[in-house]
Amino acid sequence: MTSSPPLSIAPMMERTDRHYRWMMRLLTRRTLLYTEMVVANAILNGDREHLLGFDPAEGPLALQLGGDSPADLAVCARIAEDMGYAEVNLNVGCPSDRVAAGHFGVCLMARPAQVADCVAAMRAACGLPITVKHRIGFDQIDAYDDMLRFVDTVAAAGCARFTVHARKAWLQGLSPKENREIPPLRPAEVWRLKAERPHLQVEINGGITTLDEVATHLQQVDAVMIGRAAWDRPLLFARADSRIFGAPDPAPTLRQLGAAMGAQAERWAAARPRNRRAHALKPLLNLPTGLPGARRFRQVLTTEGLIEAARPDALPRALAALEAAGADMDAPVTQFAI
Ligand SMILES: Cc1cc2nc3c(=O)[nH]c(=O)nc-3n(C[C@H](O)[C@H](O)[C@H](O)COP(=O)(O)O)c2cc1C
């Protein structure tokens, strides 16, 4: 079994779109990136380029699928391979009502044999690694042994990595947001999984916010996935390549980052009539978090750049506000890594 990249950025709906991923690649070349969850049915019936299109510069990129039909998922996995994705991941962690109504997401943890069939079908359909993102459990199915049974069953079908969100979910009574905050984190159970199944690739996820914490977890598991902190503080990844992968950091300056994102937004807006510049600029919102002028930058970008009638000069104006507040625009961003 090939070893997992030790660090990844979690799939997040309405966040890890192609624009966000393109920006993160300016900060880290090695971290594995994920798409938002894309439902298999949508791929089979919808606008594939809109749902799955990406720039090769975003690679390595994993496609996260939602669904529970082995046949449909197999077709999607084949499409993913043809389009140049590096991995296909199945979402067995989402607790939203809509997803549960479709009988996929975290409720699939109650049907390990079904997940195994999905993994086997996807493996048969393509040569990509097939991975699963799940939780410790949900509702009453949340004992360590329940998770172990799930993992063993799915591993037998050839799952290449288990990414475990280290908290359970409650399907009744908690919103998806509350399900990321209220059930307590139980990282020791993910460490135990790796200790008891050393031949499996195990990635931990949930509440991890610094590269120091990443390094600590890597002493116990193969990989670490970061979600919200990667959106709230993109510069967290400015030194990820050197610290976690032993490779040089891209280390652009804020001025270079701003110029690259501005040019990319213009290319995007020009490419298709329905492409909006605002979508391409949104990932920049949190870029300067922690630096002087970050609030003002966000204000200008929000009021002038992220609206329907966005000003074409919104980004330069937001960057000028950042510089005027004293942010060093010409220092490598590794200097600001948190
Ligand atoms: C806005 C948002 C959207 C998310 N969308 C997805 C998704 O599409 N697929 C998925 O598996 N998890 C999704 N998640 C969960 C994250 O991937 C991750 O498991 C969770 O946020 C815990 O990691 P963290 O504590 O590092 O944020 C989402 C989380 C957030 C905050």
- Model confidence pLDDT, tens digit, residues 2-20: 678 999 999 999 999 999 9
With the CA atoms of 62, 67, 72 and 73 taken in that order, what torsion angle do they form, in degrees rounded to the nearest 10? Answer: 30
Nearest to 122 by CA among 136, 112, 132, 107: 132
Measured distance CA(241)–CA(236) in Å, rounded: 11
The correct CATH number of 254-336 out of 1.20.1300, 1.20.120, 1.20.1050, 1.10.760 is 1.20.120
Positive or negative torsion for Cα 63, 130, 120, 95? negative
For ligand 1, whether the C-beta of 93 sits within 6 Å is yes
**Annotated domain spans of the chain:** 7-245, 254-336
> What is the pLDDT averaged over residues 98-122?
95
CA of 10 to the centre of ligand 1 (A): 6
CA of 167, closest atom in ligand 1: 22
Confidence bin at 1 (pLDDT 50/70/90): low
Q: Rounded to whole angstroms, how far apart are CA atoms 121 and 326? A: 55
On the question of pLDDT at 337 being above 90, the answer is no
How confident is the model at residue 48, as a pLDDT? Answer: 95
Distance CA 151, CA 14 (A): 29
Beta carbons of 89 and 132 less than 8 angstroms apart: yes
Is 126 noted as a catalytic residue in this protein?
no
Give CA–CA dist 185/206, Å, rounded. Answer: 7
pLDDT tens-digit series, residues 34-85: 999 999 999 999 999 999 999 999 999 999 999 999 999 999 999 999 999 9
153 CA distance to ligand 1 centroid (A)? Answer: 24
Q: Three-state SS for 9?
A: strand
Cβ-contact 224, 6 below 8 angstroms: yes
Confidence tier at 268 by pLDDT (50, 70, 90): very high
What three-state secondary structure class fits 180?
A: helix
174 pLDDT above the threshold of 70: yes
State if pTM tops 0.75: yes
Which one, of 97, 64, 94, 68, lies nearest residue 80 by Cα?
Answer: 64
Q: Whose CA is nearest to atom 18 of ligand 1?
A: 227
Q: Is the domain defined by 7-245 classed in CATH 3.20.20.70?
A: yes
Could you tell me which of 48, 43, 49, 47 has the C-alpha nearest to residue 75? 43
Question: Cβ(55)–Cβ(34) under 8 Å?
Answer: no
Count of residues making up the chain: 338
Res 338 pLDDT > 90: no
Answer yes or no: are the C-beta atoms of 332 and 251 closer than 8 Å. yes
Decide whether any atom of ligand 1 lies within 6 Å of the 12 Cβ: yes
